Structure 1
Amino acid sequence: MKKHLYKITFLFLVSLAAGSCSDFLEVVPQDQILESQTYSSEAGVQNVHNGLYLQLSSRSLYGQQLTMDAVEILAQQYNISGTHYQASMATYAYAEKTPKATLSGIWEKAYTTILSSNKFLESIDEHAGVISVEKANLLKGEAIAIRAMLHFDMLRLFGPIYKVAPGDPSVPYYDKPVTTSNPILPAKEVVAKVLADLDLSLSLLTKDPILTVGKYAASSAFDGNPYYAANRGQRMNYLAVKCLKARVLLYSGDKVGASTVANEVIAFTKSNQFFPWTPFLEATNAANPDRTFSSENFFSLSDYTLYTKQKDLFDSSLDDFTIYAPLLSRLTAVFESNDNDYRSLPSWKIPIVGGKTQKTFFKYEDVTDKTKLFRLQIPMLKLSEMYLIAAETAPVPADGIAFLNTLRFNRGLTNLAATAVVATEVTKEYKKEFMGEGQLFFYYKRINSATIPLGSAASGNVTMGPLQYVLPLPDSEINFQ
């Protein structure tokens, strides 16, 4: 990783930047622009800051590998048979060429983006006064949260099974833009640093407009500048950071803490109408289905190449050796033979063209109305996860079932029996709720599930353990330790 650190410590990744939340700019290549020039104007600061989100949406990170590709293959979400080009990833053969290159790409892009975040934080302080303290705090809060999120996901991928070995070596943590490699830390130390960063982020985001006007509406705050005061749902906002904190606490085994934070978020949504459950008619609309339940998402990543990726991975014209699609029997089992589930019919259909007889994935297919606010968005942190965390951590089983029933009702399902086992039902909901979003493998690893359903067969399981759950560190990291 060291060679990547040297490339961008002095001259920041300005060429990746964009001029606003949604309008991308062509900028001068990074080797032709000095940092002092970049940070001499508010527009320049915004460009660099928005560049962090462009990096998050890259194919190596949440634009593909950490949402709909590698981590979903590891969770056995698709039928990846022995003849499929991703067979080595699906069999956890991490030392083979394709998985090794993919995992190295994830690692290097994650830590490059972390370095970019740290360089932004350093530079915005060095050029204080270009923007107001209030605006700077908002941008710094987001950058710190991005840093925390990336470290946490590298821990979830490459770190030990936390439930079993929290003291085992995991990943390095970078909170400054250094050019030397930091040491590999025990997993519990990484978690502590992630949580400290999240608390720092929250302290900087206390004036986030999302708390007063929601994620889309423009606010008069920050001089009404739309970069700060509007479209907060496409940023690491205050509520998104809260959700991430609940996720981290649960992963670390702190059920009480996770429950407290998740319930705080749920209580906030009940006190206003900013994050309503997505109605059936919107989720299943024939021409413009809101398959990602956008009204419920606290943070969705904008990806302007999303529909290209949909075609590259899931299009019905792809042959069986390259398409990412499940066996119909496995998909039917996940949804318990219930097409009334809002998550089933809009996102999984037998395509009209392409000659496929099994259902293929349409979650990220474009819609007819190009003005829809939910277009080009990948869910990152959302309301349903808070209900699942609240259910799993509820001290009384009846309360856990009540949280699950709320989620189920808003997905078109009937209430569970009072005798239902909360842990079993939570697992079922994770399988349904996060398809194409990259959370199921991490769920399995968190609970240390001994087996998971095999994606390439109509029945049977894969035995899971450290060899499957703990991904090897890339050579680029090992060689500099």
Structure 2
Amino acid sequence: MFTSCKKFLDVQPESDVDKEQLFNTEDGFEETLNGVYSRCTKADLYAGNLTFSNLDIMAQNYTFSNTDFQKIASFQYSQNILKDKNSQIWSSVYNAIGNCNEILQVIDKQKAVFSGNNYAIIKGEALALRAYLHFDLLRMFGASYKSNPNAKGIPYVTTVSIKSTPFSSVGEVINNAIVDLRNARALLSSTDPILSPAYIVGYPNKTYPDGYVGPKQTETMVSSLFLQNRRHRLNYYAVCGELARVYLYKNDYQNALSNATDVINANKFPWTQKDDAFNNNVEQKDRVFYNELVFGWYAPQANENNALVTLFSAANVAQYQPTPLQLDNIYEKNTVGAEDWRYRQWFFTATDVTPNRSYLVKYLVNSSPLKNLHPLMAPGFRLTEAYYIAAEAIYDSNPTKAIEYLNTVRTHRGIIDLLPATLGKTAFINELVKDARKEFYGESQIFYMYKRLNLDIVAASGQIYPASNSIYVFPIPDDEAAYNN
């Protein structure tokens, strides 16, 4: 695998001299790091395949007439549509990792070019991105830790070289990611602006009523553009969240709980208010529960030429939508879910098509000249996931607290029926997974949860795909397998 890196975005440096000049200034490091985020928000990664496309399809969230989508939903990895997409994901992720390694290879030598805390922030984010990207790739192309921690994983690339990096085991990849994330957390723990009490999370385009008294967001009020909107980057709390995610994958419940509660107890990310979620003024409507995003991929280009609007609409003849009955079942309309905010606000049911279809409007963007309450984001880590992780991690030692964590999420989604404190482990996990599926609709995280727990996947038709490597482990792309044998 070639990991020699591109300059920021997709521009190739013409020579090593160009790269040296790039990293002679703080701006050069900032541009390169910004380029990693920009690369990750292309349609082949987090503004497409890894958020509201392939993995969400595999989680059986939609019903299709399009044969390519049907092949993805039925895990036909030998078909060209999946071979091509998976190869694209693989190469694009490693391209982004290569950019991180370009930064990390030289940043310690160039410490003198940085002002303020930018050395620690840039290095911390680069380490965190490297871990985040490797871990997501492992969750696709490696066996789950639960099934076999010693199984072949992926190469964990930490150098800039034309030489291939050997494959590591699943357990080794996880441990390497933990090292990078812990180092990132240490660097950001005293330098990240998000830690300041003066850093207030909120909507950038909120209109407040006359006489309003209360906290208003300061995320866009920082003089340095690079340090604005810390939730659009892998900030300190995002690193804690990712550490919790990785530790849970490893079944290290103590460390998973510790990092998840760091996010929860920060009280930095306010729960969405019903008035914002249900606002009839489309310019003041929160569709994605923006304030609860600990980290999200800023992806305005995801809707270029109305791409997302077209994807989730009647105009899409491929029927990239669930049926109303499918949604009713997922959100438990006939029992606890009739008033679930997610069920009521994230979907629109069109009756002008036969059969009727429901469309995901979580990512709907107002057309100019109308404004949007918040930018278009592909969620990377939610406050609710911290609660899910904490609940699962603490259940064995304190089931009452675990159920309290899960009930907190349900309550903030309009579900008034509380789960009983006497809920057994199997029933608890079942309720946890059901709520996570509701929360992560259109975000792909539920596929990873199914895999981590080694659960069978049930299609809308009732067909069961038994948990196995045949559905959960993506084949290594042919070019990589041939080159890095």
What is the TM-score with the length of structure 2 in the denominator? 0.88
Question: Which residue does 2:214 correspond to in 1?
Answer: none
Once the two structures are TM-superposed, the CA of residue 390 in structure 1 deviates from its matched residue by: 1.3
SS at structure 2 position matched to 1:285: coil
Match among 446, 452, 459 for residue 440 of structure 1? 446
- Give the corresponding residue for 1:289: 285
Equivalent in the alignment of 2:459:
454
- 1:385-421 superposed Cα distances (whole Å, 9 cap, x missing partner): 0111111122222211111111111000112233443
Partner of 1:210: 194
Q: 1:41 aligned to 2:47?
A: no
The whole-number CA distance in structure 2 between the counterparts of 1:214 and 1:166 is: 40
Amino acid at match of 1:379: P
3-state SS of 2:126 partner = helix
Aligned counterpart, 1:110: 93
CA distance in 1, matches of 2:465, 2:347: 24
**What SS class does the counterpart of residue 318 from structure 1 fall into?**
coil
Paired position in structure 2 for 1:429: 435
Q: 1:359 aligns to what SS in structure 2?
A: strand
Q: CA deviation at 1:170?
A: 0.8
Which whole-Å CA distance do the structure 1 matches of 2:155 and 2:413 have between them? 40
Aligned mates of 1:218, 1:77 — CA distance in 2: 34
Asked whether the 8 Å contact 2:390–2:402 carries over to 1, the reply is yes
Q: Which has the larger displacement, 58-67 or 351-360? A: 351-360
Aligned to 1:252: 250
Aligned match for 1:89, one of 64, 72, 75:
72
Q: Is the 8 A contact 1:209 1:219 kept in 2?
A: no
Query: What is the CA–CA distance in structure 1 between the aligned matches of 2:320 and 2:181, rounded to whole Å?
Result: 34
- The alpha-carbon deviation at position 367 of structure 1 amounts to 3.4
Match in the other structure for 1:176? 159
Name the CA distance, whole Å, in 2 between partners of 1:124 and 1:364: 37
What secondary structure is seen at the aligned counterpart in 1 of 2:379?
strand
1: distance between equivalents of 2:100 and 2:319? 35
Alignment partner, residue 409 of structure 2: 407
Contact persistence 1:289–1:367 (CA under 8 A): no
Which of 468, 471, 474 lines up with 1:468 in the alignment? 471
How far apart are the structure 2 equivalents of 1:30 and 1:329?
53
Name the structure 1 match of 2:480: 477
Give ranges in structure 1 of 5+ residues lacking alignment.
17-27
Q: Is the 8 A contact 1:317 1:354 kept in 2?
A: no
2:312 aligned residue (298, 305, 314): 314
Contact (CA 8 Å) 1:289, 1:346: kept in 2 or not? Answer: no
Say which SS state the counterpart of residue 153 (structure 2) adopts.
Answer: coil
- One-letter code aligned to 1:366: V
Q: Which residue of 2 aligns with 1:69?
A: 53
**1:315 shift after superposition:** 2.3
For 2:83, the equivalent position in structure 1 comes to 100
Give the direction of change, closer, same or farther, for the CA distance of 1:105–1:281 in structure 2 (3 Å limit): same
Contact kept in structure 1, 2:324 and 2:349, CA below 8 Å: no
1:15 deviation in Å? 4.4
- 2:131 is matched with 148
**What is the match of residue 347 of structure 1?**
346
Secondary structure at 2:342's aligned position in 1?
coil
CA distance in 2 between partners of 1:219 and 1:362 (Å): 26
What is the aligned residue count? 451
Match of 1:196 in 2: 179
Instruction: Select between 102-111 and 371-380 the one with higher mean Cα deviation.
Output: 371-380
Q: Is the 8 A contact 1:160 1:170 kept in 2?
A: yes
Q: CA deviation at 1:132?
A: 2.7
Task: For 2:219 and 2:365, locate their aligned partners in 1 and report how far apart those are by CA, in whole Å.
Answer: 26
Distance 1:385 1:315 in 2: 28
Question: What percent identity do the matched residue pairs reach?
Answer: 31
Using the TM superposition, name which of 124-133 and 422-431 deviates more.
124-133
- Once the two structures are superposed, residues 132-187 of structure 1 have per-residue CA deviations (whole angstroms, 9 ceiling, x without a partner) of 36211101100110000010011110101210211111101011212211111110
> What CA distance in whole angstroms lies between the structure 2 residues aligned with 1:317 and 1:289?
24
Residue 364 of structure 1: aligned partner: 363
Distance verdict in 2 for CA 1:219–1:72, change over 3 Å: closer
Please say if residues 292 and 378 of structure 1, whose CA atoms lie closer than 8 Å, have aligned partners that are also in contact.
no
Partner-residue secondary structure (3-state), 2:294: strand
Q: Does residue 385 of structure 1 match 2:382?
A: no
- The equivalent residue for 2:297 is 301
Residue in structure 1 matched with residue 326 of structure 2 by the alignment: 330
For 1:467, what is the secondary structure of its paired residue? Answer: helix
**Cα separation, partners in 2 of 1:241 and 1:250, compared to 1, 3 Å:** same
Distance 1:84 1:325 in 2: 14
Q: Quick one: which amino acid aligns to residue 366 of structure 2?
A: V
User: Which residue, out of 109, 122, 128, partners 2:105?
Assistant: 122
After superposition, the CA RMSD in angstroms is: 2.2
Runs of 5+ in structure 2 lacking a partner? 202-216
Structure 2 CA distance for aligned equivalents of residues 49 and 115 of structure 1: 11
TM-score (structure 1 length as normaliser): 0.88
Runs of 4+ in 1 over 6 A off after TM superposition: 352-356
Maintained 8 Å contact 2:241/2:260: yes
SS at match of 1:180: coil
Whether contact under 8 Å (2:391, 2:406) holds in the other structure is: yes
For 2:24 and 2:286, how far apart are their aligned partners in 1? 41
Residues 311 and 30 from structure 1, CA distance in 2 versus in 1: closer, same or farther, beyond 3 angstroms?
farther
In 2: Cα distance, 1:55 partner to 1:350 partner: 34
CA distance in 2, matches of 1:476, 1:390: 40
Distance 1:390 1:367 in 2: 36
Distance 1:342 1:391, change over 3 A: same
The answer to whether the 8 A contact 2:285-2:373 is kept is no
Tell me the alpha carbon deviations over residues 402-453 of structure 1, each in whole angstroms, 9 at most, x when there is no partner.
111111110001122334431111011111011111101110000001x222
Match of 1:19 in 2: none
Residue 137 of structure 1 pairs with residue 120 of structure 2: yes
Q: Distance in 2 between matches of 1:351 and 1:53?
A: 35
- Kindly provide the CA deviation profile for residues 184-214 of structure 1, in whole angstroms up to 9, marking residues without a partner as x: 1110011000000000101111210101114
> Which residue of 245, 260, 263 maps to 1:262?
260
Post-superposition shift, 1:304?
A: 1.8
CA distance in 2, matches of 1:340, 1:404: 17
- CA distance 1:389–1:370, shift in 2 (3 Å): farther
